[in-house]
Structure 1
Amino acid sequence: MSRVLLVGESWFVHSIHQKGFDSFTTSEFTLGGGEFRAALEAAGHSVEHLPAHEIATGFPATAAALRERADVVVVSDVGANSFQLLPATFTHSQLEVDRTEVLRDFVLAGGGLAMIGGFMTFSGIDAKARWGRTVVAEVLPVSILDRDDRVELPGGAAPQRLAEHPIVAGLDAVWPPLLGLNEVRLRDGASLLAACAGHPLLAVGDYGAGRSAAFTSDLAPHWAPPGFLRWAGYGPLFDRLVRWLNREI
C-alpha cells in the first residue's frame, strides 16, 4: 500500500460577533479531509496530513526527500503562494527553493501527484491559487485557466463515469451530486475518466516516470455534500486513485 502525504485541506477562521453596541472576536482552526483520510487508512494506506500553514517549515526542499517521505502527494485546497512565498523569501528577500519545482520533479522522478479541487487549487477564487503559473502545470493532465475558474452548482450536478479505467471500473455510472468544481481543459494525451456538468471531473496522465491526476471537485465539504461522502464508491474511488498513482494497479 501507499504512503500518502495530504497537503493543505486546513483553514483558520477569525469571526466578528456583534451584539448591539458591543462586539468581540473568536478564532478557530479546522483540519479538514477527515473522510478522505479515513477512507484511505481503511484501505490500508498510511496518510500524513501537512496543514497549509505548515508547508513553509514542513514540506521537503528536494524531490528526493519528498520521495523518501511519500509515494503519493495530494494537494487539496491550498494555493501556490504557500509553496513559493516562504518567509525567507517574502519577509527577508532571501533565495529559497521553489517548492512547486520540487513537486514537478517528484512526479518526473516517479512519484504520484493528485490535485484536488477547491477555492484555492487550480486557478481558484479570484484566480488566487495560481497553479497554472507554476511548473506543476507541466505535469498535470489538465490545463488551468488564467481566471477565476469556479463552477458553482448550488442545485447539484451528478458526475458521470466515462471510462472503464482501473480507477473507476465497476463504480456507478452516475455518482451522487456535487455542488461545484474548478473549470479546466483536458490536456492532449490525458485520459478523462469522469465529468460533471459538462466539465472534466477526473483526469489522469503519465509524466516522466510518474503519474498525476486532477479531481476538480472537493474531497470534503462544501463542494462534496454528505451524500457524496457517504456514497459507497467514495472509498474505492480514492483508494484506487492512490494505488494507480503509485503503479499498484
Structure 2
Amino acid sequence: MTRVLLLGESWFVHSIHQKGFDSFTTSEFTLGGVEFVAALRAASHEVTHVPCHEISSRVPSTPEELRAVADVIVVSDVGANTFQLPPATFGRSEEQPDRTDALRGFVEHGGGLLMAGGYMTFSGIDAKARWGRTPLAAALPVGVLDRDDRVELAAGAAPQTETEHPITAGLTGTWPNLLGLNEVTVRETATELASCAGHPLLVVDDYGAGRSAAFTSDVAPHWAPPGFVEWEGYGRLFDRTVRWLAGEELA
C-alpha cells in the first residue's frame, strides 16, 4: 500500500448575481479530484487529500517530515504562492521554510512526486502558478515555461503512447480525448511516455534517490472530461504511475 498525499484540487467561487437594480452574492467551496482519489483508493492506495487553503497549516515543511507521512506526493492545480507565502510570511513578514524546497528535498531523498496539470500548475493561466521559479523545478522531469502555458483543446484531442514503459503497459489503443493541457519541455534525461496534440502529456525521470512525473493535463474535469475519467484505463494509468513513483518494480 502506497501512502499518497494529494495537495490542491479545491477552490472557492464567489459569485455576484445582478437582477436589475439589485444584486446579491453567494459563495461555494468545491473539493475536486474525487475521481482521482477514488481510483487510487480502489487500487488499495492510502490517500490523504489536503485542499489548497489548508496547505500552509497541514503540510510539513521539511523533507524528513514529508517522508514520514507520504511515499508519493501529488501536486495538482495549486500554485507555488500557496507554498511560498504562508500567512506568517505574507501577513506578518516572518521567515518561514520554503515548502517548495521541502518538496524538492523529498524527491531527492527517495520520495516520488507527480505534478498534474491545470490552470494553477506548471506556469498556468497568466503565468500565475509560477512553479518554474521555485526550487522544486529542478526535480521536475519537464521544463516550465515563463508565460501562460495553457493549450486549450476545445474540440478535443486523443493522447497517444510514445514510449514503452511499465507505467503505460497495457494502455494500448485509443485514449479518450482531453480538452487541454499545460505546455512544457522535456528534460534531456527524462522520458516522454505519452503526448497529446503534439505536446508532452506524461513524462518521467529520476531525481536524486527519488522519482518524479508530470501529467500535463487535468486528473479531473475540466480538461479531463467524463469520457476520460470514466475510461477503463484511467485507474490503471494513475495506479501504475503512483506505484512506479514509489519505487515499485512493475510487472
TM-score range, shorter chain: over 0.9
**Distance in 1 (alpha carbons) for counterparts of 2:191 and 2:31:** 32
Q: Match of 1:32? A: 32
* Counterpart AA for 1:18: Q
Cα distance in structure 2, aligned partners of 1:172 and 1:216 = 20
Partner SS, residue 237 of structure 2: helix
Query: Aligned ranges for residues 84-99 of structure 1 at < 5 Å?
Result: 84-99=84-99
Using the TM superposition, give the Cα deviation of residue 248 of structure 1 relative to its aligned residue in structure 2, in angstroms.
1.4
Partner of 2:157: 157
Runs of 5+ unmatched residues, structure 2:
none
Query: Secondary structure in 2 aligned to 1:91?
Result: helix
Q: Hey, what's the Cα distance between the residues in 1 that align with 2:189 and 2:159?
A: 22
Q: What code does the residue aligned with 2:99 have?
A: R
- 1:122 matched to which residue of 2? 122
Which residue number in structure 2 is paired with residue 15 of structure 1? 15
Q: Tell me how large the CA RMSD over aligned residues is.
A: 0.6
| Residue aligning to 2:244 | 244
Secondary structure of the corresponding residue to residue 233 of structure 1? helix
Offset of 1:16 from its aligned partner? Answer: 0.7
Partner Cα distance (1:51, 1:43) in 2 = 22
Name the amino acid aligned to 1:139.
A
Letter in 2 for 1:132: G
Q: Aligned to 2:92, what secondary structure does the other structure show?
A: coil
Alignment of 1:204-223 (within 5 A): 204-223=204-223
> Match of 1:70?
70
User: Is this contact kept in 2: 1:116–1:219, CA < 8 A?
Assistant: yes
- With normalisation by structure 2, the TM-score equals 0.98
Matches within 5 A, 1:167-178: 167-178=167-178
CA distance in structure 2 between the aligned counterparts of 1:16 and 1:143, rounded to whole angstroms: 38
Q: Secondary structure at the match of 1:166?
A: coil
Once superposed, which parts of structure 1, at least 4 consecutive aligned residues long, lie more than 3 Å away? none
Query: Given that residues 161 and 174 in structure 1 are in contact (C-alpha distance below 8 angstroms), is that contact kept between their aligned partners in structure 2?
Result: no
Q: Structure 1: how far apart are the matches of 2:61 and 2:161?
A: 37
2 CA distance for matches of 1:93 and 1:172?
A: 52
Q: State the secondary structure of the residue aligned to 2:148.
A: coil
Deviations 1:95-143 (A, max 9, x none): 1000000000000000000000000000000000000000111011100
Determine the C-alpha separation between the residues in 1 that align with 2:239 and 2:227: 18
The CA deviation at 1:224 is 0.2
Identity within the alignment, %:
71
Q: 1:172, CA displacement in angstroms?
A: 2.6
Deviations 1:176-218 (A, max 9, x none): 0000000000001101000000000000000000000000000
- Give the structure 2 partner of residue 106 of structure 1: 106
Gaps (5+ residues) in structure 1?
A: none
Question: 2:143 is paired with a residue of what secondary structure?
Answer: strand
The answer as to whether partners of 1:163 and 1:169 remain within 8 angstroms in 2 is no
What amino acid is the match of 1:147? Answer: R
What is the aligned length?
249
Equivalents in 1 of 2:172, 2:53: separation in Å? Answer: 37
Aligned residues of 1:63 and 1:102 also touching (Cα < 8 A): yes
| AA of the residue aligned to 2:64 | A
In the TM superposition, residue 170 of structure 1 has moved relative to its aligned partner by: 1.1
Looking at structure 2, the residues matched to 103 and 43 of structure 1 have their Cα atoms a distance apart, in angstroms, of 25
Corresponding residue of 1:61 = 61
Give the match for residue 42 of structure 1.
Answer: 42
Cα displacement (A) at 1:28: 0.4
CA contact under 8 A between 1:145 and 1:184: conserved in structure 2?
Answer: yes
